[in-house]
A and B are shown apart, each in its own frame.
Chain A
Amino acid sequence: MEFDTIAAISTPMGEGAIAIVRLSGDQAFEIADRLFRGVGGKRLKDVASHTIHYGHIMDPKTGQIAEEVMVSAMKGPKTFTKEDVIEINCHGGLVSVNRVLQLLLNNGARLAEPGEFTKRAFLNGRIDLSQAEAVMDLIRAKTDRAMNMALGQMEGRLSKLIQKLRQEILEILAHVEVNIDYPEYDDVEEMTHHMLMEKASYVKKEIEKLLQTSQQGKILREGLSTVIVGRPNVGKSSLLNSLVHENKAIVTDIPGTTRDVIEEYVNVRGVPLRLVDTAGIRETEDIVERIGVEKSRQVLKEADLILLVLNYSDELTSEDENIFKAVEGMDVIVIVNKTDLDQKIDMSRVRELSKHHKLVTTSLLEDQGVDDLEEAIASLFFAGSIEAGDMTYVSNTRHIALLNQAQNAIDEAMQGVEMGTPIDIVQIDLTRTWELLGEIIGDSVHESLIDQLFSQFCLGK
């Protein structure tokens, strides 16, 4: 077969907790067998096609069981891509599919590009000619979305760290290159194995740190950034407590209780959230509260999901309307709370304001409507507006996979140094490290090494 083996979380992930990792290509069975421990030592390559098997996914490095899974084994050509396909069904929600995906990527699979399964289906003749146009559109659309997400990440801390590390590697590379291309240039000492080892260990440590910080990435480590906003006293802190199932935030009947931003991590039906409770937004004279309000507005801008709380037993105010304006264009769930009290709110106006949002009503005091809310959160994430969350998540997977590869490359460089391999050959692995890091931030231009060479050293005739 013509292509390498690719893996990805297959979307849309069903609601509820089961998610699927799909693997396609001529090594699909082989790779899956490296991880899969079936009942009675069963190997997937031996099972009948189009059958399902219960077992566990194990990390071959540590020998530890990672997940309990159901695996569908399907031999080509009767599959979506016409290639051999393995589908791994995981129970533990996003965290666990991600772990399985990472293991596959570390064991020979490559992360699928946007639209790649469909592309293969087409190239292998599974999809007919008239749909080629649609395939191209799909690739375009998915890629643009992924690009936007990647660009979003570019501005982040991670990308700054990567850029810094790359620059440091580039200087080492330039140093080695100048020794090669200008052997008589005496202004720079000859790079020795000892020096290179020191530098490589530093690079390795930095990559490890990066891996730790982005291990499971923004979403999985920190959760989908979800901000609760609303006027004072509408029940924001109560909402936080009820999603967390614990009394984390102080709840009083005094408006303006929450002065600062409070964060909590919570898993809502498999969707990891970093829940942020804010100071109620209102004009205020109180300095401490005002700082809190300012922060709330700040946090708002960076949110992935907004939970906008209104008070059922109070009239809509201009402050409420302002909050609606502030969250325009974002993913928002509007929560009308305190339905146990008498209605004063104008619901038709609320509906109008919530045209583009999901709307739920709750009584947090009586524990009513919380289910609806959780449902709304999960469905927003998994189905309809899957992109935001899913893509961040996927590009995370991508960069973790790349970081892992970069780590392997630097390991190989260090082994080379230990073996006394000539430095210009060790350089191959070092360059690879640099390129992999570049792929994370979408920048692998070879020319920059040459730029570096001539800006760092004074060369010429």
Chain B
Amino acid sequence: MTYEAGSYDVIVVGAGHAGVEAGLASARLGAKTLMITINLDMVAFMPCNPSVGGPAKGIVVREIDALGGEMGKNIDKTHIQMRMLNTGKGPAVRALRAQADKFTYQHEMKKTLENEPNLTLIQGMVERLIVEDGECRGVVTQTGAVYHSKAVVITTGTFLRGEIILGELKYSSGPNNQQPSIKLSEHLQELGFDLVRFKTGTPPRVNSHSIDYSKTEIQPGDDVPRAFSYETTKYITDQLPCWLTYTNEETHTLIDNNLHRSPMYSGMIKGTGPRYCPSIEDKVVRFNDKPRHQIFLEPEGRNTQEVYVQGLSTSLPEDVQQKILRTIPGLENVQMMRAGYAIEYDSIVPTQLWPTLETKKVKNLYTAGQINGTSGYEEAAGQGLMAGMNAGLKSLDKEEVILSRSDAYIGVLIDDLVTKGTNEPYRLLTSRAEYRLLLRHDNADLRLTELGRKVGLISEERYEKFLLKKQAIEEEKARLQGIIIKPSSDVQEMIKSQGGSELKDGIRASDLLKRPEMTYEHIQQVVPAESTLDEDVTEQVEIQIKYEGYIEKSLQQVERLKKMENKKIPENIDYDDINGLASEARQKLKEVRPLSLAQASRISGVNPADISILLVYLEQGRIARVSAE
């Protein structure tokens, strides 16, 4: 039996990290939005490490925030510790990481969803999509509720035909023993989607009372207040530390002796796991000359004694996990509260998506998050935001948005997925971005606020503030470029005190700032600004001046590529009609159906000659059209 349950502009299936961003973005830009999730108590649940951010990922959180998303604000309200990483390195790779109170993280996020005017949040298990004439027009739940909509976003994470594996035990389940989503996976297959089987895992959790922290090293948060969001004004000051300890020979011997009981080696696990999240048994086997591995003990929240044992992801049997833990300094008497496990799940081959995250097979159907073959909360949230934004825009008949590789890490992520696909769960790394000097933590707002504003996700008030900041940066840069600093004794003194070589002549303030030992502060000492500027303004001034040459070089590269980005390939192009293409290139082009020549050139197996031929073909079409008119 089914019943009519309502109709919406956009329906978001799932309320994980992708789902919540999708739902909020869609609702906030004006689309009437419904979110359906299996269990309302598990909104924005973190099934693995209780942390948000880190290299590349932290920058994604800033980008989400600049585009009006929620992850940054939510973690600012609920973290137990925050640190800026890579402070000793260049500005391009600095990144924030927060340890989350995973429970308050969920509660805060749920509260935000509940209070969003245009958003309806309900519990339910979606089993089918309504697809007519190749278009998705709604969903049907397990209880027979039929919801209609103009667009649907699926963000079902690791739930699709999920199976938990723990030692010799294997059972059908979503993460953390939630209900798996089986019918929906079968339905996607019926619709003709290619699915692959991936795998990931999580370490055991232990009781804090049973840890002897005196045998570990403390890892405190930064003592300066930090925040992800450009809108955050209240900072959390009482932070909790993490703790560092190590495995040892005894641990490794124990693992070696129990390898035959590992589902990884017995062949029970078939899905492809990510290389960057190997289990401890994997690490011991592959790097068997390493005498020890790092283990971080991370509290899961303020009101819990559960501690996450980072570095010990495993699917060995429970009794072995128990013994392994107890070989580790500080954990000799530890009480394990939950065992680690591995989970296998279906995800869809992401080359079946357009760069808007709409599927090519079914119109108005979008997918985002782990279902697209990624792993990680931030990767999920970034996609969720874009899919929700585009579904919302499309339902309102507005133009959709695609971020390019030089706009954002989110652009890199989505372009990689839809252009190259992935044969393991995909994680962002700074090295995936060819323009990482442009995609910095500090300038996410400068890169993306305009866009956020344009689609309607940035408030008037915030936008005004942003414009003022931008103006202040430009003015201060111009001022420093205009002032000549004379080699007075004060100036020479200041330079010498920083270990620099004395001035021979007057020098532009901006040029002095380019010297490696100089900071904005130093320049400020000798040529003070009229009024003191905000730190985020002076930070920009310093970075933009100091690294001008390198930034310029990257921008030129981007500019060169723009020409190719602007050469659009019509959706209805017939690659079989183009004679000169090499057969591998033809097949890849037919599969990926790139939207621009630049995207085509990034497909592996498509070489420059194919691109030339494609260009000539496209021009031929264009010329033919023009002359027909």
Q: How far is the CB of B122 from chain A (nearest CB, A)?
A: 33
* A187-B279 Cα distance, complex, nearest whole Å: 18
Question: Residue-by-residue, is B274-295 near A (CB-CB < 8 Å gives 1, otherwise 0)?
Answer: 0111110011001100100110
Are B619 and A123 in contact, with the CB atoms below 8 A? yes
Q: A119-B616, A136-B580, A461-B48 are in contact. List 19 more A-B contacts (CB 8 A).
A: A115-B612, A119-B612, A123-B619, A136-B578, A137-B580, A139-B613, A173-B431, A180-B86, A181-B56, A183-B86, A184-B294, A420-B516, A423-B89, A424-B93, A425-B437, A428-B437, A454-B275, A460-B278, A460-B282
22 residue pairs bridging A and B, Cβ less than 8 Å apart: A125-B623, A129-B623, A136-B578, A136-B579, A136-B580, A136-B613, A136-B617, A140-B609, A177-B431, A180-B431, A181-B55, A421-B550, A425-B90, A428-B437, A428-B553, A428-B554, A445-B604, A446-B432, A459-B278, A460-B278, A460-B283, A461-B48
* A177-B620 Cα distance, complex, nearest whole Å: 44
Residue A458 CB within 8 A of the other chain: yes
Are B550 and A425 in contact, with the CB atoms below 8 A? yes
Residue B429 CB within 8 A of the other chain: yes
Q: How far is the CB of A371 from chain B (nearest CB, A)?
A: 41
* A129-B627 Cα distance, complex, nearest whole Å: 10
B residues whose Cβ falls under 8 Å from a Cβ of A: 48-49, 55-56, 85-86, 88-93, 203, 275-279, 282-283, 286-287, 290, 293-294, 296, 310-311, 313, 429-432, 434, 436-437, 516-517, 547, 550, 553-554, 560, 563, 578-580, 582, 604, 607-609, 612-613, 615-617, 619-620, 623-624, 627
> Given contacts A123-B616, A136-B580, A461-B313, is CB(A428)–CB(B89) below 8 Å?
no
Name the residue of chain B whose CB is nearest to the CB of A132. B620
Name the residue of chain B whose CB is nearest to the CB of A141. B580
Chain A residues whose CB sits within 8 angstroms of the CB of B580 once the complex forms: 136-137, 139-140
* A395-B213 Cα distance, complex, nearest whole Å: 64
Name the residue of chain B whose CB is nearest to the CB of A116. B612
Residue A93 CB within 8 A of the other chain: no
* A164-B296 Cα distance, complex, nearest whole Å: 37
Q: How far is the CB of B584 from chain A (nearest CB, A)?
A: 13
* A181-B48 Cα distance, complex, nearest whole Å: 19
Chain A residues whose CB sits within 8 angstroms of the CB of B609 once the complex forms: 113-114, 139-140, 143-144
Question: Residue-by-residue, is A106-133 near B (CB-CB < 8 Å gives 1, otherwise 0)?
Answer: 0000000111100100110100010011
> Given contacts A458-B293, A461-B313, is CB(A140)–CB(B276) below 8 Å?
no
Are A424 and B90 in contact, with the CB atoms below 8 A? yes
Are B616 and A180 in contact, with the CB atoms below 8 A? no
Question: Residue-by-residue, is A170-197 near B (CB-CB < 8 Å gives 1, otherwise 0)?
Answer: 0001000101111111110010000000
* A423-B89 Cα distance, complex, nearest whole Å: 7
Are B92 and A460 in contact, with the CB atoms below 8 A? no
* A454-B283 Cα distance, complex, nearest whole Å: 11
Q: How far is the CB of A178 from chain B (nearest CB, A)?
A: 10
Partner of A460, one of B91, B276, B436: B276
Which residue, B430, B431, B432, has most C-beta atoms of chain A within 10 A?
B431
* A136-B621 Cα distance, complex, nearest whole Å: 14
Chain A residues whose CB sits within 8 angstroms of the CB of B275 once the complex forms: 454
Q: How far is the CB of A215 from chain B (nearest CB, A)?
A: 26
Are A458 and B620 in contact, with the CB atoms below 8 A? no
Residue A2 CB within 8 A of the other chain: yes
Question: Residue-by-residue, is A437-461 near B (CB-CB < 8 Å gives 1, otherwise 0)?
Answer: 0000000011001100110001111
Chain A residues whose CB sits within 8 angstroms of the CB of B578 once the complex forms: 136
Q: How far is the CB of B623 from chain A (nearest CB, A)?
A: 6
Chain B residues whose CB sits within 8 angstroms of the CB of A184 once the complex forms: 294, 296
Among residues 135 to 155 in chain A, which have CB atoms less than 8 Å away from a CB atom of chain B? 135-137, 139-140, 143-144
Chain A residues whose CB sits within 8 angstroms of the CB of B56 once the complex forms: 181
* A129-B612 Cα distance, complex, nearest whole Å: 16
* A4-B561 Cα distance, complex, nearest whole Å: 12
Are B431 and A449 in contact, with the CB atoms below 8 A? yes
Chain A residues whose CB sits within 8 angstroms of the CB of B607 once the complex forms: 143
Partner of B294, one of A181, A186, A420: A186
Among residues 69 to 114 in chain A, which have CB atoms less than 8 Å away from a CB atom of chain B? 113-114
* A179-B616 Cα distance, complex, nearest whole Å: 44
Name the residue of chain A whose CB is nearest to the CB of B242. A184
Are A420 and B517 in contact, with the CB atoms below 8 A? yes
Residue A419 CB within 8 A of the other chain: yes
Are A461 and B579 in contact, with the CB atoms below 8 A? no
Q: How far is the CB of B437 from chain A (nearest CB, A)?
A: 6
Are B278 and A122 in contact, with the CB atoms below 8 A? no
Which residue, A177, A422, A459, has most C-beta atoms of chain B within 10 A?
A422
Which residue, A132, A136, A179, A181, has most C-beta atoms of chain B within 10 A?
A181
Chain A residues whose CB sits within 8 angstroms of the CB of B615 once the complex forms: 119, 123
Are A181 and B431 in contact, with the CB atoms below 8 A? yes
